[in-house]
Each structure stands twice: as structure tokens, then as C-alpha cells.
Amino acid sequence: MVRRIVVALGGNAILTTDPSAQAQKKALEVTAEQLMPLIEGNDTEMVVTHGNGPQVGNLLLQQLAADSEKNPAMPLDSVGAMTQGEIGFWTAQAFTRAMANHGLSAYPVISAVTQTLVDENDPAFKDATKPIGPFYTEEQLPEIQAQFPEWELMEDAGRGYRRVVPSPKPLEIIEAKAFAPILASGSLLIASGGGGIPVVKDGNGYKGVEAVIDKDFSAAKLAEMVEADELLILTNGGDVFLNYGKPDQVHLDTVSVAQMRTYIDEQRFAKGSMGPKVEAAVSFVERTGKIATITSLDNVENFVKFGSGTKIVP
Ligand SMILES: Nc1ncnc2c1ncn2[C@@H]1O[C@H](COP(=O)(O)OP(=O)(O)O)[C@@H](O)[C@H]1O
Ligand SMILES: NC(=O)OP(=O)(O)O
């Protein structure tokens, strides 16, 4: 039986401390190697998705530094497309190499620039919550705010301050219906990177909107739309804990989706970091009756061998 899995890569899979292209490509080569146990020796179709939060903010900063009349900065949807293309290209090259190293290179890896439908009336457009770009210290805030008076800045999960932009919920991955034949062909597919380019309906077509979609929510929507058997969310840290970081923290192993929904309602998970991942995983399990796992990139081998990780089950 062919198993279909959607894997969402956390920030550290691409960018560690060095934001150069060379370092990000290197990080993705390591990541691709770490993911090989998922497809090696078993009949698995895999879709890989990834974030773009640091990259989309960094690219905007580069554009804002240019002459605004001769070389204007592009809108956020276009910058999202650029980073999706860029990271998708690096990721495709990294997987092509890793798969060849493991004798799995029968078909090309495909990286698609994809759009994600959102609701133009989504309340998120009036309440920016998605952190992008670099972190700033509290001391840097007055200078940044003077330089970019229109920016909203927010504290990001205890790690410093970042620019925040609207992040509407994904309703549909526009291109998803075309993915089944690609996966059936044996190609590994990279899609919906950076959450996908946010678009709204516009007559017979779509138009881009200024936002950045959360890649964990779009991964859940993608997994639902490609009828994946499993959603695997790989984070910087690892499995999910209750009372995270406190002396009485409790590791969550296998949890029913109803129990996890109760924990979400009780606001047991941090807003800017683990909260959206758990919420995305739960929404996938609720809608499909399939399994979602949250764990670390370093744990992929143990996930394959022993099923370790935080599993949310129907
Ligand atoms: N309840 C929790 N259980 C586990 N990790 C948590 C929890 N709450 C917050 N975290 C933090 O969330 C981080 C993962 O979120 P984040 O770094 O935003 O994700 P990403 O890997 O997608 O970039 C972990 O490294 C950990 O530090
Ligand atoms: N788009 C997105 O969610 O990116 P990050 O995961 O990098 O924040």
C-alpha cells in the first residue's frame, strides 16, 4: 500500500544563524538527508512544505533599501512568491542530491510556486500576528520604528521583537487538485512553501493580497487536499509538552484529538510558537480522521523506526 505523507519543515531546517544563500542551501542539504528514512525502503509519496518568515522579511528589507522610484519594493504577495521560488529551488536541489545518494532518483523533484486562497474578510487582515524577518532587541525598537513608521512590531515567543503582518487562514491550496498525478509518478513534490502566496477571488481569477500565511496551517490544508495519510510537522525544538519549560513539564506522546482540542481551548500552548502547530495538526485530524505528528527534524529516524513524536490520533 502506498502511503502519502506531508512534511512541514520548521525554521531551523533552512536557516540557522547565517542567512546567506550558501548557508541556507547547506542547511537544506542536511535536512534532505535527515528526511531520507521517510521514503527509503517503503512505498511513500512525499510532499514537502516549508516556511519563509525570516526570508520574506529579509528580502523586503533589501528591497526597501533600494531607490524607491527607480527600483520600487514589491508588494508582500510578490515577495512571498519570490521566497517560495527561491527556497523551493534550494529544497529541490537538496532533495535531488539526497535522493541520488540513496538510489531514489528515478523521477525529478518538483518545486511548485503555489497560491493559497484566503477570505478577504478574514479578521486577520485587521490584526497582524505573523512575525517575519530579523529579530530586534528592545533597545533597537525606537530606531526601527523611526525608520519604518508603518510597521507593527511584536514580541516573538520570548526571542525578541519582529515585524508582524496579517496572516489569514488558508481556505484552499489552488493547485492541489493537480498534485495527485505528480505524486503517483514517483516525483517528490515541494509545494505551498511559505504558506503559499495569499490570494482572494477576483472575477474569474485571483489576485494577491498583502499577507503571509502560516505554513503549519497551510500544511494541514495541503495534507487534507492531497488526502495524505499523515501530516508530520517538524519543529526546531521537538515534541509537544504541557507546562513547557517549567519544572513540571509533561511530554505528550499519543493524544486523542478531542483531548488536544481541550488543551487548545485551555490555552496550554504558547501563542507564537507551538500553539499554531498544535492547532494546525488538530484541524487536520478532525477533518480527515488521519494522524498528525509533531516532532523535531533530528527525531525523524526514530519517528520512522519507533513512531516516536507527539502523535495526535482520531
Ligand atoms: N508546549 C510546547 N512544547 C514544546 N515546545 C514548545 C512549546 N511551547 C513553545 N515551544 C517552543 O516552540 C518551538 C517551536 O516553534 P517555532 O520555533 O516557532 O517553530 P518552527 O520550527 O516552525 O520555526 C520549540 O523549539 C520550543 O522552543
Ligand atoms: N510562512 C511561515 O509560516 O513561515 P515561518 O514558518 O518561517 O514563520
Give me the interface pTM, i.e. the ipTM: 0.97
pLDDT, one tens digit per residue, over 229-282 is 999 999 988 999 999 999 999 999 999 999 999 999 999 999 878 999 999 999
Residue 52 amino acid letter = N
Is 0.90 topped by the overall pTM? yes
C-beta of 195 in contact with ligand 2 (< 6 A): yes
A 10 A CB-CB count for 35 gives: 26
* Nearest ligand for residue 11 CA: 1
Give me 179's grid cell. 498534485
- CA dist., res. 167 & res. 125, Å (int): 7
Clarify whether 186 is annotated catalytic.
Answer: no
Q: Does the pLDDT of residue 117 top 80, yes or no?
A: yes
Check residue 290 and report its DSSP letter: -
* Nearest ligand for residue 243 CA: 1
Residue 32 burial (C-beta neighbours within 10 Å; 0-12, 13-18, 19+): buried
C-beta of 217 in contact with ligand 1 (< 6 A): no
- CA dist., res. 262 & res. 269, Å (int): 11
pLDDT of amino acid 236: 84
pLDDT cut 70: percent of the chain above it: 100
- Ligand 2 pocket, mutate which of 165, 212, 277 (most atoms under 8 A from CB): 212
At residue 13 the predicted structure's pLDDT band, cuts being 50, 70 and 90, is very high
Lowest mean pLDDT of 47-51, 157-161, 181-185, 276-280, name the range: 157-161
pLDDT cut 90: percent of the chain above it: 92
pLDDT, one tens digit per residue, over 119-134 is 999 999 999 999 999 9
